[in-house]
């Protein structure tokens, strides 16, 4: 018993020293820098947003940067080489203080893919409603909160609006974090527009937001004094060029044309969820390393080179997808009707379901009503039962020319029956469908529920089904009391 007590005493005495020894160098380095020295350094920083000041909260954040999360701080400092030049350019163009660039350090540590516990996304951490309010597109294929340029412009608009409202940057920053409603209530309770006087009336996170900004400013000025070594990314991530792409193009196609590995394309273009850039009349951003972008432009710069893709200034038309036409076949367009699936279509058109997916670049075998498909059929295909009308597809800014009309004589074409209900029900059933509104089984969301837990309560229902029937974004937060459609009655 005496020996056991002696061993336990030794462990108790030695354990703190063992733990301390792992971090002793960092703690000693921090201990050598007194609060007075940090105060003196802060006083030397010229900041046009917030006048730096020292308090326990600022000290706590500096300690986190310099000791607790040194590796993350060094990675963040390295990413300044990618994002700070863009921030400075856009802030300068919009007449805002360049020091606002440090705000993104507080928000996301300069990680374009950052997602908070509350669902805020991107470098500037926009929630879905605020992002859309600021003009960002947030959907199933694109989330512009992750687009460095577009998200920065949205942040600039929002910050400008708050500064115009309050007349000082401390309150504008607080409103950026907690919303103007909380700031307005704090102003009313504190009877002042001085952030430092009313901060006690703000929620804890918002109360500490300006001190966090001061600490982020400090670490970007004095990281060398704390022996922090930025981990800079490769030059291909730093020396980049941005252009507008107006037509659909996949990351695989960009890799084939430019030789840029897909992982680099993904890192530089984080807003695209499904590894392709969709068509847009306004244009979507494409960022590539400068040397690779030159190859991309050279490939599509000449309208007389045999393809219709060209560069005019910074306007780039990416290649339109043209499926390979099978030998001895005709091309037509088909609009998906209710009840259609790949199996029925492949049977109707005497082709394989995998061919239809390949011709239309489908990533899923699931079809939706109204979807437009390109189909190739054999010229000696059997003649019809049902009239098929030609459909002109539209891509990017320009309607696709009706190449179909050149290849096919559009006399009525008979197709095998795709759906037994279509041929038997006739026009009466269509009229009934129009007159009857769809009725659904609903589920009322309760606190703590997710799409996964809700789907599990209903047999045969998946999370994807819930997203599609409710036309939701998967990242949208579920609010208690909201009614979700489960299935049709």
Q: Residues with catalytic annotation?
A: 107
- Reduced to 3 states (helix: H, G, I; strand: E, B; else coil), residue 399 is strand
**Strand-pair partners of 128:** none
- Reduced to 3 states (helix: H, G, I; strand: E, B; else coil), residue 485 is strand
Q: Where are the alpha helices (DSSP H) in 33-179?
A: 35-44, 56-63, 70-93, 103-108, 128-133, 148-166, 169-178
Whether 247 and 396 have beta carbons less than 8 Å apart is answered as yes
Cα–Cα nearest to 146, from 171, 112, 114, 177: 112
DSSP symbol at 145: G
Helix axes 56-63, 35-44, angle to 10 degrees: 100
Cα–Cα nearest to 398, from 286, 296, 246: 246
Long-range contacts of 417-426 (CB under 8 A, 24+ apart): 417/348, 417/385, 417/386, 418/337, 418/339, 418/340, 418/344, 418/345, 418/348, 418/386, 419/337, 419/338, 419/339, 419/340, 419/344, 421/339, 422/337, 422/339, 422/386, 423/385, 423/386
């Amino acid at each position: 018993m005496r020996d056991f007590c002696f061993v336990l005493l030794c462990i108790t005495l030695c354990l703190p020293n063992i733990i301390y020894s792992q971090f002793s160098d960092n703690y000693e380095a921090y201990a050598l820098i007194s609060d007075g020295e940090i105060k003196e350094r802060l006083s030397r920083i010229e900041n046009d947003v917030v006048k730096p000041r020292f308090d326990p909260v600022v000290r706590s954040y500096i300690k986190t940067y310099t000791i607790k999360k040194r590796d993350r701080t060094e990675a963040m400092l390295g990413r300044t080489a990618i994002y700070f030049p863009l921030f400075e350019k856009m802030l300068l163009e919009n007449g805002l203080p360049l020091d606002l660039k440090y705000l993104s350090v507080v928000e996301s540590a300069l990680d374009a893919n950052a997602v908070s516990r509350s669902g805020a996304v991107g470098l500037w951490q926009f929630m879905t409603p605020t992002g859309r309010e600021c003009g960002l597109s947030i959907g199933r294929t694109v989330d512009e909160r992750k687009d460095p340029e577009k998200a920065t412009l949205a942040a600039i608009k929002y910050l400008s609006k708050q500064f115009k409202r309050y007349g000082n940057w401390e309150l504008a920053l607080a409103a950026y974090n907690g919303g103007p409603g909380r700031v307005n209530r704090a102003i009313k309770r504190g009877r002042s527009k001085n952030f430092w006087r009313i901060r006690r009336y703000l929620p804890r996170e918002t109360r500490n937001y300006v001190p966090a900004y001061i600490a982020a400013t400090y670490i970007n000025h004095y990281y060398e004094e704390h022996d922090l070594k930025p981990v800079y990314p490769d030059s291909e991530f730093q020396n980049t060029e941005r252009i507008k792409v107006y037509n659909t193009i996949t990351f695989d196609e960009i890799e084939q044309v430019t030789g840029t590995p897909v992982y680099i394309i993904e890192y530089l273009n984080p807003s695209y969820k499904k590894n392709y850039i969709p068509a847009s009349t306004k244009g979507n951003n494409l960022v590539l390393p400068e040397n690779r972008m030159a190859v991309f432009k050279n490939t599509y710069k000449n309208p007389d080179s045999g393809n219709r893709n060209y560069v005019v200034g910074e306007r780039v038309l990416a290649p339109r997808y043209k499926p390979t036409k099978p030998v001895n076949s005709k091309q037509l367009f088909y609009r998906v009707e209710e009840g259609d699936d790949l199996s029925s279509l492949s049977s109707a058109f005497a082709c394989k379901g995998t061919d239809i997916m390949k011709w239309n670049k489908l990533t899923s075998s699931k079809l939706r009503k109204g979807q437009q498909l390109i189909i190739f059929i054999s010229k000696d295909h059997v003649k019809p039962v049902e009239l098929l009308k030609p459909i002109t597809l539209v891509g990017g800014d320009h309607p696709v020319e009706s190449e179909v009309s050149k290849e096919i004589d559009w006399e009525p074409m008979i197709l095998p029956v795709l759906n037994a209900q279509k041929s038997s029900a006739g026009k009466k059933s269509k009229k009934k469908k129009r007159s009857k509104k769809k009725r659904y089984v609903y589920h009322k969301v309760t606190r703590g529920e997710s799409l996964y837990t809700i789907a599990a309560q209903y047999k045969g229902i998946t999370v994807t089904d819930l997203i599609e029937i409710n036309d939701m974004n998967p990242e949208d937060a579920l609010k208690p009391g909201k009614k979700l459609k489960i299935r049709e009655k």
